[in-house]
Structure 1
Amino acid sequence: MGRKPKKTWEKLTPLEKAKQEIEYLRTEVIFLKKLKGIPLDQKDLQNIKAKKLKKWSTKDSH
Structure 2
Amino acid sequence: MIEMLQNFFQSIGEVQSVFTLVDFYQYIKGVEYLICVAFFISFPMFYRYIHHDDASRKDGH
Q: Identify which of structures 1 and 2 has the higher relative contact order when contacts are C-alpha pairs closer than 8 Å and 6+ apart.
A: 1
Task: Please tell me whether Structure 1 or Structure 2 has the larger radius of gyration of its CA atoms.
Answer: 2
Fold-level similarity (TM above 0.5): no
TM-score by length of 1: 0.42
TM-score by length of 2: 0.42
